[in-house]
Amino acid sequence: MSKSHEYTSQSGRIRSTLRQFLDNEAAGGLVLMATAILAMGVANSPLSPVYFSALHVHLGVLNLLRLPF
């Protein structure tokens, strides 16, 4: 088996596994919990200034965090 065929086969297997996971009803909740845990970890780490400044980034007409003051 050639190197490119191995890569394509492995890539297809990863996509298939990812597709099966995302088709599961619980996948959204698991991804949400994982990102919330990651966000809490980063917010309470030495990277917290970067995290909190990223909340104020403007994306077109939207911003990620709109403070009332």
Enclosing domain of residue 31: 3-63
Q: Is residue 68, in this structure, part of any structural domain at all?
A: no
Dist. CA 15–CA 68, nearest whole Å: 43
Q: Is residue 45, in this structure, part of any structural domain at all?
A: yes
Q: What's the pTM value of the predicted model, to 2 decimals?
A: 0.57
Q: Is residue 10, in this structure, part of any structural domain at all?
A: yes
Pairing of strands 58-59, 62-63: antiparallel
Number of structural domains the chain divides into: 1
- The series of mean pLDDT values per 10 residues for the chain, 69 residues long, is 60 85 84 94 94 80 59
User: What are the CA-CA distances from residue 53 to residues 13, 38, 56 (Å)?
Assistant: 38, 16, 5
Q: Is residue 53, in this structure, part of any structural domain at all?
A: yes
Q: Is residue 69, in this structure, part of any structural domain at all?
A: no
